[in-house]
Structure 1
Amino acid sequence: MDRNQATGLILIALLLMGYFYFFAPEPKPSNEQFPSDSLVVKGPAENEEVESDTVSTIEESDSLTNLKYQQQYGVFAAGATGSDKTFTLENENIKVDLSSQGGKISQVELKNFETYYHKPLILLDEESNNFSLLYNDNGRNINLNKLYYTPSTSSNGDTTVITYSLNLAGGKSMKHIYSLGPDSYQVKYQLELKGLSQQNGQLTYIWNDDLKTQEKDLKLSRTNTTINYYLGSEDFDGLSATSSGTQTEELQEPVKWIAIKQRFFVSGLIAENNFSTAKLQTSYTEQDTSKVKNATVTTTIPIADLESGKGNFSYYFGPNDFHILKDITPDFESNLYLGWPPMKWINRFVIIPLFDLLSSFISNYGIIIIIMVLLIKLVLSPLSYKSYLSMAKMKVLKPELDEIKEKHGDDMTKAQQEQMKLYSKVGVSPLSGCIPMLLQMPILFAMFTFFPQSIELRGKSFLWAEDLSTYDSIFHLPFEIPFYGDHVSLFVLLMTMSTILYTWSNQQVSSVQGPMKSVSYFMPIIFLFVLNSYPAALSFYYFVSNLVTFAQQAIIRKFVDEDKIRVIMDENKKRNSNKKKSKFKLRLEEAMKASQQQQQKPKKKK
């Protein structure tokens, strides 16, 4: 072996040793099973490799998630994740829970009220209510009420303030600010946007509310539930509450406030600057007794207002009480339906003040109703006296009226002319008995709208009625009678019987004869069906009113002498026998003669 060969062998050996030292393959893992409690220790190199792979996988996953959030939420991607924390605004009237997911109201409880079933009155919660605030970002509608916000609390005197903030890239931000003062049902709400302005951009606000069943009578609740609104032009209106099916209305003009109005409670949203447009809808399913109606409010809010600090709103969650509503915002008290004029004016300026006066020192509402009847009957007693006196005069004239009918037979026109002459001679007007009754009718109809809407009567008992704001039931039927119901209301029965007795009593001094005498008995029967499901307070009022009317007529009867009435009418007949007829009477007689002549003309044959 020469020196060159030896040198080559040494170099090959060194290469093999280096290869096996640096590049030798790792031994395969053994198939031997270790006991579960065996401790396996990994070397530093192995630990580093695993940690590196995990970090790499997490980074890759975070990158995909961030990309997904970026595509879904755009500039708002920073609010896609977070934790949901609940904060509460509370005073002695109301408790409002706020969620950091969405920066929205999640539940409202009215602390001074409960349901008919004696449970806490939850006006809305996350199961029945949903708020959406949609922002259009390059064609994508992003629901800002799905994002997570950072909460903070503060106070301004005796007012608690909760702020939900979301800071975005580039100095952009968004805030929901809520505040609640003491003794208030009104939650102030401020929405702020910074750096998110769009040319002619708008936010779309959607409020979807499945109104919970709170009362005993679901049917009456549905016919008193609707959405009302007040336009920037100062016009109040609303959807029909009594119509069945779906009610929809679109408003293409500024709207000041919108209220989801129930029979006894109101949830409202009020804008300081007006909403641009609004779409309102109510609907319900007859068979679904878990909710009264579904109410959906869709409005648009100019983003420019939110950027300039004009995004000021307020929620009202509270009773449908006239005294509270009138201090909230202009015409908000119109959510309490008091009927059409003049019933509305009577309720607002007479009945409500009287009711408030009596309830300020009397706690029993049944007694209050009795006193109201007595006072109203006392004020109307002059009209009642005139009405009864007119009926007495017609009773005295009845023999002469009957003679006129027999004399002229089927000639109704001639009979009417003779009757008018007789009325003129004796100084009697056939309308004098109707006018006093007509003047009393608005008060009776005013009660028809006042008692079903009076929240003061809610939950108040009297005699056998457990709740004067709903029907009193002494017996539940095993079936339902059409237009009547499945229960028997005792107050309605008493009212019906007293009305029939009152009708019979009036006919003893009335000149009405023939079929009209029988027709007057149908009205009490109709009211038996109509009022059976109405509040007990209403039928009790009508029942007491009938009793007082009986007593009133008994007193009036002592001051009405039919013999004296006959003497006065005979004197009037002598005095007016040669009296010149007035122009009005002459025109009336001429009109009646013309009508008679027209009827007597022979009909032309075709």
Structure 2
Amino acid sequence: MDRNQAIGLMLMALLLLLYFQFFSPEPPKEEPRVQTEQVTESNSPELNAGLPAQEDPSLPDSLFDEVSRQRLGIFAAGARGTEEEVAVENSQVALTFSTLGAQVATVELKDFTTYDGKPLYILTPETSRIHQRVNADNRVIDLTELYYQKKTWSDNDTSYISFTLPLPSGAVEHIYSLPPSGYQVGYELKLNGARVQESVDFNWRDNLIKQEKDITLSRTNSTINYYTTGGDFDGLAERSTSLEEKSIEEPLKWVSIKQRFFVAAMIASDRFTNVEVKTQADLADSSIVKEAQVAMSVPLENSATGWTYYFGPNDYHILKDVTEDFSKNLYLGWPPMIWVNKFVIIPLFDLLNNFIGNYGLIIIIMVLMIKLVLSPLSYKSYLSMAKMKVLKPEMDAIKEKHGDDMSASQQETMKLYQQVGVNPVSGCVPMLLQMPILFAMFYFFPQSIELRGKPFLWAEDLSTYDTFIQLPFTIPFYGSHVSLFVLLMTVSTILYTWSNQQVSTVQGPMKAFTYMMPLIFMFVLNSYPAALSFYYFVSNLVTFGQQAVIRKFVDDDKIRAILEENKKNAGSRKKSKFQQRLEAAMKAQQQQQQEKPKKKKK
């Protein structure tokens, strides 16, 4: 490893550290506790502002009816009824509704379970509440406080449920449709004869249920995303656990409450307006990932409106077919990492997944295939290191000759490079070209739902950290567990670094720094998914073997002979554009240094 390669490694390390500082999960910090309560009318004043209290059911019937007419007007018939649950399901989801409110009460994803093997619910009555309000006859009517008559039927394998409230000259009707498969639920609201204003006010408050082992990683991957009718995707900050809120002036096409592996969303048939979104996490409550709230207006066309719900996995293959740019709920990094993931990593993973059922084996084969494709870059990098090692005695002689005169030393060093035909950055460039793949893996493995719940060796779940030893205490910046895959990755990285040092020209503090990096990443990656640390462990082993093979084809004596031959023919060889620009810059720098003493004398 020469000086330029060491600088390249330092740049890579700096970028990785910046990534972990600003984009990776952080250990939870102590913050003032925000009380998380069950979402009910009594403790959600912002959801009930301007609404009179409900009738007291203990009132005499005549008085109860009179109070209902005063409060609800033509909707008074909905004040009485019996709450019943209505269930419907297809091959992927199981839904329950209630005749009180006519809203989705529970959503179970049948193909998934929680990390501890329990049924996985996206919505439950205890953690989620939806309100729909209309302004009719100068009254604010909450449609979700009314009782409805239910009806179910099927048509071409699609299941339908309607909830109807008769009015004096019409009816309120909520109609849901569930196809035989898939995660989308159609919804239509009809307000015939209700004389309502031109929009429905919609408010959805959802306490996101813990479904994964690592709640910290879940919190840093949970947020509210949205997509405007103008084609812009945005969302609240994922990593933030404090209050995040935003008022969105531009109409939206869809809005989603997104967790790490699952999404609950609304997709407009036309548009959503006056949208306000909020998220916040209570770090003291280990049962709730985050609190999310969406408030908006839904325009009415001919006293009707509708949208589509999506309750399903945060799976790239499914999301891309839901609606425009809905796949952006799965964050795969910024360019060029997102391109590497979309067009290289995901297709390769899918190809192997079609033939191999063991995900540990898939990761091993992915490493081998990627290393094979990148082997020319690895060879060029190692060859550059070998050339710099051969030149080291001459470079040391130049430094000794010029002493503290750095400018003269650099000029003569560049002249030596030109004579022997060596590009000083040729070893750094191959490593930099591999960085997009390195970073892409930091996004792919934590977001890959295919790995969720899949065991390998001692790891029970490749989508979260492997607990080899559970500590009775917590180590700052490390955690309360020991990941064996991370330890193996660290040891293999140290061995790989030691191997590189055998052909390195780096000395002093820079050499020690290369050994510190594996220890730093041991702390950083201890709580990352086991699949990621296993990938890098296997990658280190393959790289170590790759370099052992390359050494057999790279002979120092042959390299020295080639460099000497290049030096003899230096006069007939043109300088590269890089060398010309570098020499011009160094000459300009030397000239400035020579002019400074002259100016001081004047």
Name the TM tier (shorter chain). 0.7 to 0.9
Residue-pair matches, total? 542
Paired position in structure 2 for 1:93: 92
The correspondence for 1:323, drawn from 317, 324, 331, is 317
Q: Secondary structure at the match of 2:434?
A: helix
| C-alpha distance in 1 between matches for 2:329 and 2:122 | 17
| C-alpha distance in 1 between matches for 2:544 and 2:580 | 40
CA shift for structure 1 position 280: 0.7
Inter-CA distance 150–604: structure 2 relative to 1 (3 Å threshold) = farther
Paired position in structure 1 for 2:360: 366
**TM-score, with length taken from structure 1:** 0.87
Contact 2:133 2:202 in 1 (8 A): yes
The correspondence for 1:288, drawn from 285, 288, 296, is 285
| C-alpha distance in 2 between matches for 1:495 and 1:562 | 30
Is 2:380 the counterpart of 1:381? no
Paired position in structure 1 for 2:42: none
| C-alpha distance in 2 between matches for 1:356 and 1:583 | 43
Inter-CA distance 586–122: structure 2 relative to 1 (3 Å threshold) = closer
Paired position in structure 2 for 1:536: 530
| C-alpha distance in 2 between matches for 1:585 and 1:438 | 20
Paired position in structure 2 for 1:553: 547
Paired position in structure 2 for 1:238: 235
| C-alpha distance in 2 between matches for 1:544 and 1:521 | 19
- After superposition, what is the alpha-carbon deviation per residue over 1:504-526, rounded to whole angstroms, capped at 9, x for unaligned? 11111122222211111121111
CA shift for structure 1 position 593: 2.6
| C-alpha distance in 2 between matches for 1:181 and 1:460 | 29
Paired position in structure 1 for 2:470: 476
Paired position in structure 2 for 1:521: 515
Q: Secondary structure at the match of 1:242?
A: coil
| C-alpha distance in 1 between matches for 2:552 and 2:531 | 32
Contact 1:281 1:296 in 2 (8 A): yes
The correspondence for 1:186, drawn from 179, 184, 187, is 184
The correspondence for 1:504, drawn from 498, 519, 522, is 498
Is 2:344 the counterpart of 1:346? no
Alignment of 1:448-487 (within 5 A): 448-487=442-481
Q: CA RMSD in A?
A: 1.8
Paired position in structure 2 for 1:27: none
Contact 1:208 1:297 in 2 (8 A): yes
Is 2:589 the counterpart of 1:595? yes
- After superposition, what is the alpha-carbon deviation per residue over 1:470-491, rounded to whole angstroms, capped at 9, x for unaligned? 1001111111111110000000
Paired position in structure 2 for 1:162: 161
Inter-CA distance 142–598: structure 2 relative to 1 (3 Å threshold) = same
Inter-CA distance 314–586: structure 2 relative to 1 (3 Å threshold) = closer
Q: Secondary structure at the match of 1:512?
A: coil
CA shift for structure 1 position 589: 2.5
| C-alpha distance in 1 between matches for 2:413 and 2:88 | 75
Paired position in structure 2 for 1:436: 430
- After superposition, what is the alpha-carbon deviation per residue over 1:45-69, rounded to whole angstroms, capped at 9, x for unaligned? xxxxxxxxxxxxx9x9433222211
CA shift for structure 1 position 138: 5.3
Paired position in structure 2 for 1:206: 203
The correspondence for 2:297, drawn from 295, 300, 309, is 300
| C-alpha distance in 1 between matches for 2:583 and 2:270 | 63
Inter-CA distance 534–396: structure 2 relative to 1 (3 Å threshold) = same
CA shift for structure 1 position 194: 1.4
CA shift for structure 1 position 588: 3.1
Contact 1:178 1:190 in 2 (8 A): yes
CA shift for structure 1 position 298: 0.7
| C-alpha distance in 1 between matches for 2:577 and 2:351 | 50
Moved more, 449-458 or 508-517: 508-517
| C-alpha distance in 2 between matches for 1:164 and 1:112 | 28
CA shift for structure 1 position 604: 6.2
CA shift for structure 1 position 141: 2.7
Paired position in structure 2 for 1:117: 116
Contact 1:99 1:106 in 2 (8 A): yes
Paired position in structure 2 for 1:22: none
Is 2:252 the counterpart of 1:258? no
Inter-CA distance 584–97: structure 2 relative to 1 (3 Å threshold) = closer
| C-alpha distance in 1 between matches for 2:580 and 2:364 | 49
| C-alpha distance in 2 between matches for 1:213 and 1:126 | 15
Contact 1:255 1:277 in 2 (8 A): no
Paired position in structure 2 for 1:228: 225
Paired position in structure 1 for 2:131: 132
Q: Which runs of 5+ in 1 are unaligned?
A: 1-57
| C-alpha distance in 2 between matches for 1:194 and 1:204 | 17
**TM-score, with length taken from structure 2:** 0.87
CA shift for structure 1 position 198: 4.7
Is 2:194 the counterpart of 1:196? yes
Contact 2:219 2:241 in 1 (8 A): no
- After superposition, what is the alpha-carbon deviation per residue over 1:562-596, rounded to whole angstroms, capped at 9, x for unaligned? 11111111111111136565676444323223323
Contact 1:89 1:179 in 2 (8 A): no
| C-alpha distance in 1 between matches for 2:222 and 2:488 | 30
Q: Which has the higher contact order (CA 8 A, sep 6+)?
A: 2
- After superposition, what is the alpha-carbon deviation per residue over 1:540-578, rounded to whole angstroms, capped at 9, x for unaligned? 000000000011111111111111111111111111136
Paired position in structure 2 for 1:175: 173
In our comparison, the structure showing a higher alpha carbon Rg is 1
Q: Secondary structure at the match of 1:295?
A: strand
Q: Which runs of 5+ in 2 are unaligned?
A: 1-56
In structure 1, give the amino acid aligned to 2:230: S
In structure 2, give the amino acid aligned to 1:390: S
Identity across matched positions, percent? 62
Inter-CA distance 254–434: structure 2 relative to 1 (3 Å threshold) = same
| C-alpha distance in 2 between matches for 1:581 and 1:224 | 51
CA shift for structure 1 position 139: 5.2
